[in-house]
Amino acid sequence: MNLTNSLQSIPNQVPEAAREATFHLFLGIGAVLLFASIVGWLLRWKLGRENGVVANLVARTNAWWVMVAVIGIALLGGQTGVVVLFGLVSFFALREFITLTSTRRGDHYALLTCFFVFLPLQYVFVWQHWYGMFSILIPVYAFLLMPFLACLGHETQNFLARATQTQWGLMICVYAISHVPALLALNIAGYEERNLLLVVFLILVVQSSDVLQYVWGKLLGRHKIAPNVSPSKTLEGFLGGVASATGLGAALFWITPFTPLQAAGMALAITLMGFAGGLVMSAIKRDRGVKDWGHMIEGHGGMLDRLDSVCFSAPVFFHLVRYFFTA
């Protein structure tokens, strides 16, 4: 059976080369989620609705269904759909981040510029595949302009701290996250029209690494890695999660331009960076005295709680692919 022919109804924004693989992947993800949902229902039936861990598991799984559906719809919109989705994700993430900073009245214009100038501009440049611009817009132009705008507010109290927090918010929530759709701008010989699958590869590896670290930690976790920063992270969870997510990445080599060994290497880099991201973002939350970044995603917390690992792995994955696989 030629599946590609039966998928003609999918809008032609998605290049034909990527359709069949994407369809198979989503069938696979659907099967995994269905399994998780059934386990959740069975546990709830056995242990009762009052069990907090089970309730959280069910809420998390339900949120995953929604997130997978949203990503699926964005992929149907092709490259524009993915750019718009991550633009919105950046907006919600930046909103959560700036909420927890200690900006003052004097930062008003700087913050307006963050949200309504630099965020949209960054995604326009990504959408245009203008590497020279999207790679320096925030580290150079925003970095120099934002503190100047903050000066116009005539407030010097905690100036350096405020300027730093604003720049951090832009770097993490806009610059780093925009490197997910930026994967579409890479020209890899022999992989033309299939870049959407690189986005799928990155998200799948990084998110399953989070889930697998959580699962391994719950099953075998004994030794805490950083009890002061993130009490739920254990050595067993870390090793088991990294190893199994690396294995998953290697098994997904057929959707990438990599050999199985290269895919494993990439997945290892992604999971290690993702772990670092989770730890750093957790340290910020601790410092600000909150448990979650927000409440947008039921069972998970805020947008940034789900994306902390993506923030750190996306730029590194982008540059590894760019250095080793583009001309």
Partner 1 sequence: MQWFDRLVGRFLIALARILTGAYANWLGCRPEPRQRLYFANHSSHLDFLLLWAMLPPSIRYQTRPVAGADYWGASSLRRYLIHRVFRGVLVERARPSAGHNPLAPLQAALDAGDSLIFFPEGTRSLDGEMQAFKGGLYHLARDNPQVEFVPVRMENLNRVMPKGNLLPVPLVCILSFGAPVGLGADEAKPDFLVRARQAVLDMMPKH
- Nearest distance in Å: CB 285, partner 1: 9
Phi then psi for residue 234, to 5 deg, are -120, 160
- Nearest distance in Å: CB 79, partner 1: 25
- Nearest distance in Å: CB 291, partner 1: 6
115 Cβ contact partners less than 8 Å away, ≥ 6 residues apart: 91, 94, 95
- Nearest distance in Å: CB 116, partner 1: 8
Residue whose CB is less far from partner 1, 223 or 288: 288
- Nearest distance in Å: CB 110, partner 1: 9
Residue whose CB is less far from partner 1, 19 or 306: 306
Residue whose CB is less far from partner 1, 37 or 99: 99
Residue whose CB is less far from partner 1, 29 or 114: 114
- Nearest distance in Å: CB 65, partner 1: 22
Residue whose CB is less far from partner 1, 225 or 296: 296
- Nearest distance in Å: CB 113, partner 1: 10
Residue whose CB is less far from partner 1, 229 or 303: 303
Residue whose CB is less far from partner 1, 204 or 308: 308
- Triad 195, 1, 191: Cα angle to 5°: 15
Residues that bind partner 1 in the complex, under the rule CB under 8 A: 91-92, 94-96, 98-99, 103, 105, 108, 111-112, 115, 289-292, 294-296
192 Rama sector, left if φ>0, alpha if ψ -120 to 50, beta otherwise: beta
Phi then psi for residue 51, to 5 deg, are -65, 115
Give helix 78-99 / helix 119-127 axis angle, nearest 10°.
Answer: 160
188: β partners = 326
Number of neighbours of residue 31 by Cβ within 10 angstroms = 10
Identify which of 33, 40, 74 has the alpha carbon closest to the alpha carbon of residue 57: 40
Q: Rounded distance, CA 301 to CA 297, Å?
A: 5
CA-based end-to-end distance of the chain? 36
Residue whose CB is less far from partner 1, 169 or 257: 169
- Nearest distance in Å: CB 288, partner 1: 9
